[in-house]
Amino acid sequence: MPAFELGEWMRTPNPAFEGQSPIQVIENGEADRIWRMIFQINANVAN
């Protein structure tokens, strides 16, 4: 993902997080969910 798109992605509700935005997930103390998604993308596991 281009760096300039990161801010929008962080604020956009995501079905992978039950409709919460990534920033909401982090604010709720669940940053591990973001890292898990990143790991899966890097490992080509996520679609």
DSSP H helices, 1-47, are 6-11, 22-27, 31-42
In the prediction, which pLDDT does 46 show? 56
What is the rounded distance in angstroms from the CA atom of residue 42 to the CA atom of residue 47?
11
Per-residue pLDDT tens digits of the chain, which is 47 residues long: 798 999 999 999 999 999 999 999 999 999 999 999 889 888 887 55
Confidence (pTM)? 0.78
In the prediction, which pLDDT does 28 show? 97
Q: Would you list the domain boundaries of the chain? A: 3-42
In the prediction, which pLDDT does 41 show? 86
Contact between 33 and 17 under an 8 Å Cβ cutoff? The reply is: yes
